[in-house]
Amino acid sequence: MPIEFEHPELLYLLVFTLPSALLLWPAAGRGILFSRGEAARALPSDWLGRSEILRWLPDLLRTLALACVVFALAGPERVEVVREFAEVGKGTVLAVDLSSSMLAEDMDGRSRMDVAREAAIRFARRRQLDELALVGFAGEALTRVPLTTDPEVIVHGVESLGVELVTNGTDISSAVVASVNRLLESEREGRVLVLLTDGAHNAAGVPPVATARAAASRGVRVHSISLMSPGQAREADLEASGQGGEAAAATVLSALSAVTGGAYFRATGAAALDSIYSEIDRLEAPEPGTVERETRRPVRAWFLAAALLILGCGSLLQGSRLGIVP
């Protein structure tokens, strides 16, 4: 059961206890010493090693009492760590596309941004056991909310998302890199990236599949969601059917998810997007594990009581029949 200090810097005051002890230490020939009663006179010269122990013991006790006061000022706390079996959530990053195309109002008369915000908020509130982070991306990626265990912080972050936060474009690679960096800060074993975009990667530099391989090597699973209008979905289906279904399997998002062991989804409206988030919630359900809970109990009173007890013992000794008075 270790003891930790709330203000450990105050322990440096202990260096002043030695000078104070030297100032108070009884010097030979200082004052007049006389015994109280025949008991002190009757002590043998080698009692407890040296008979003069009665001369410096009260000052030693005062020094010890001063040290106890310093420990009390430093705020000692008894730390108890209890391990409990409980469900453990994942480290999860929500990456949301903030490109200008997200302003298109083709989701039953609503903009893609509004639909994406509301679905992400509902998903975040269901993930009560997760460590959550929020990343917005377009031509570059921006960490909007670092890892937190409070879903409402993520909710406020999602509500504040807008296309004006980053330069326009769709850089999926930077979104994956920024999200993986956030997930590496989490101590959770399960690491998940839920990436939503309404476009294809159009930035130069590292291709998304390369960043997906790096994410997979760090144990990050990527679930990607393509948000598109019903008309875009029909065009994609026609293109895929004309090429034997290979075009859909070769998209950047599906490849990204396949490399990391995640799932690829396509949403054409608010209801479909909610259903996808519910499926991801099921796929990434909390797992049984152990949770460490730390409790701290102040023990300052123990050190103050010890200081009073030591001072009392010193006074009793000095005022007893065995004591001496300078």
pLDDT for 247 equals 47
Residue 248 has pLDDT above 50, yes or no: no
Residues in Cβ contact with 105 at an 8 Å cutoff, skipping those fewer than 6 apart: 111
Determine what percent of the chain is predicted with pLDDT higher than 90.
Answer: 46
The rounded mean pLDDT for the chain is: 83
CA distance 98 to 101: 8
At 10-34, the pLDDT tens digits run: 888 888 776 766 665 555 444 444 4
Mean pLDDT within 152-167? 93
What six digits make up the tokens of 302? Answer: 């123990």
CA distance 257 to 222: 5
Pairing of strands 131-137, 141-148: antiparallel
Measure the N-to-C terminal CA separation of the chain; round to a whole number of Å.
Answer: 43
Alpha helices in 160-269 (DSSP H): 172-183, 208-217, 230-242, 246-249, 252-260
Nearest partner of 197 among 71, 276, 83, 98, judged by Cα: 98
What is the band of 50 on the pLDDT scale with cuts at 50, 70, 90? very low
| One-letter amino acid of 155 | V
CA distance 6 to 298: 9
Residue 326 has pLDDT above 50, yes or no: no
At 176-204, the pLDDT tens digits run: 999 999 999 998 889 999 999 988 888 88
Mean pLDDT within 36-46? 51
Q: Which residue has the tokens 């296309």?
A: 163
CA distance 289 to 156: 30
Q: Mean pLDDT lowest for which of 43-47, 105-109, 242-246, 262-266?
A: 242-246
What is the band of 321 on the pLDDT scale with cuts at 50, 70, 90? low
pLDDT for 320 equals 63
The strand ranges marked E within 37-180 are 76-88, 91-97, 131-137, 141-148
At 77-128, the pLDDT tens digits run: 988 887 777 788 999 999 999 999 999 998 888 999 999 999 999 999 999 9
pLDDT for 149 equals 94
Mean pLDDT within 153-165? 93
pLDDT for 245 equals 38
Q: Mean pLDDT lowest for which of 243-257, 266-280, 296-310?
A: 243-257
| One-letter amino acid of 118 | E
